[in-house]
Amino acid sequence: MALEIELWREGACEISHDIVQAIRAIADFSAMRALAGDFGAYIGAPWFALVTHEDLREWRPGMVDIRHYPEGASRRIIDRCRYRRDVVMRGSLLIETAATWTELFARMALDNADRVSIELGRRENLVEGVTVPCAKLGHCFGSCTFAGFTSTRRAELAVGPAQTFGLFAFARARQLSGSPAAIAPPPRLKPGQRDCVVLSGRGFRNKTVAHKLGLTERTVESYFRDACRAYGVRSVKELRVAAVLAGEIGVDEIYQLP
C-alpha cells in the first residue's frame, strides 16, 4: 500500500507539472478556452467558467471571461448581470481553496431564489461542481468552476487538480487580458472609520457604536459619510461590502460575537 501511495504521489506531481507548463505556454484566450475544455474532460466536467465577478457584457482590460456553460445559466447570470446574486459566485467568497458545490452550499444560508437557481442548473446538467476562488489584491475577485460531474465523489477527487488548474489558469488569463501589475493601494479607511464599520457590521446602531468607541453619535455619522465618499458608495451596507472585498476588513471581524 505504501508503495502504491508513493507511486500515486509521483504521478500526481508529474500531472501538476504538466498542467502548469501547459498553462504557461498559452498565448491567447482561444488556446486557454481549449485547454480548459480538455482539462474539464479529463476530470469529468463538461462545463467550465473562468470569470471575474463583474459585468461581463462589455469587455474591458483585466476582465476574464472564458467559459463553456449552458445557455440558460449564462443568460441568467451574465446577460442579466446577476453575478452578485449567483449562488456559486457568492459562495466562492466564503472559501479559501477549491470546494465542491455540496460543500459550498452547506456553508450558505440559501433562500428561495438560490434554491430555484440550483434547480434550474440541475436541469441543465449543472448537477455537481468544483469552484476555485481566485483573488488578488487590487484586482476584481474571480473564480474558476468546473461543473457537470456525474457524482459528488467524482467532484471530490477533482478538487486538488482543479485547485492547481484554476489558480494558474486564472493568473495567466489575467495577464492575457492586459491586467497591469498590481500595486497595493493605501488604505481608504482611517482607523476610527474602520472601527465604526466593523461594529456596524456586527449589527450595532450608530448610538451603540459611539458609546463603545467613546465617540459622539455625530462623529460616527461623519466617519461613515467620509468613508462612503472614499469608497464611492451610497450606504453603510455597501460600504461594509466594499471594505471586505478590498481586504480592509476581515469577514471574521464582522461575524465575531459582540
How confident is the prediction along the chain (258 residues), in pLDDT tens digits per residue? 344 455 455 666 777 888 899 999 999 999 999 999 999 999 999 999 999 999 999 988 889 999 999 999 999 999 988 888 899 999 999 999 999 999 999 999 999 999 999 999 999 999 999 999 998 766 789 999 999 999 999 999 999 999 999 999 999 999 999 876 556 678 999 999 999 999 999 999 999 999 999 999 999 999 999 999 999 999 999 999 999 988 899 888 887 544
Task: Look at residue 20 in the predicted model and tell me its pLDDT.
Answer: 92
Q: What is the pTM of this model?
A: 0.68
Domain residue extents for the chain: 2-176, 191-255
Task: Look at residue 3 in the predicted model and tell me its pLDDT.
Answer: 41
Question: Cell numbers of 81, please?
Answer: 448581470
Round to whole Å and give the CA distance between 154 and 160: 12
Round to whole Å and give the CA distance between 220 and 194: 11
Question: Cell numbers of 2, please?
Answer: 505504501
Task: Look at residue 10 in the predicted model and tell me its pLDDT.
Answer: 60
Task: Look at residue 2 in the predicted model and tell me its pLDDT.
Answer: 45
Round to whole Å and give the CA distance between 198 and 138: 21
Task: Look at residue 5 in the predicted model and tell me its pLDDT.
Answer: 52
Q: What is the DSSP letter of 134?
A: E
Round to whole Å and give the CA distance between 235 and 148: 39
- In 3D space, the residue among 87, 100, 83 whose CA is nearest the CA of residue 142 turns out to be 83
Task: Look at residue 36 in the predicted model and tell me its pLDDT.
Answer: 97
Question: If phi over 0 gives left and psi between -120 and 50 gives alpha, with beta otherwise, what is residue 62?
Answer: left
Q: What angle do CA 14, 20, 24 make, to 5 degrees?
A: 145
φ/ψ of 75, rounded to 5, equals: -65, -45
Q: Is the dihedral of CA 16, 36, 121, 177 positive or negative?
A: positive
Question: At the top level of CATH, which class does the domain 191-255 belong to?
Answer: mainly alpha
Task: Look at residue 105 in the predicted model and tell me its pLDDT.
Answer: 95
Question: Cell numbers of 145, please?
Answer: 468552476
Round to whole Å and give the CA distance between 38 and 184: 35
- In DSSP terms, 147 is beta-bridged to 47, 129
What superfamily does domain 2-176 belong to in CATH? Answer: Transcription factor LuxR-like, autoinducer-binding domain (3.30.450.80)
Residues 229, 211 contacting (CB under 8 angstroms): no
Question: Cell numbers of 55, please?
Answer: 459585468
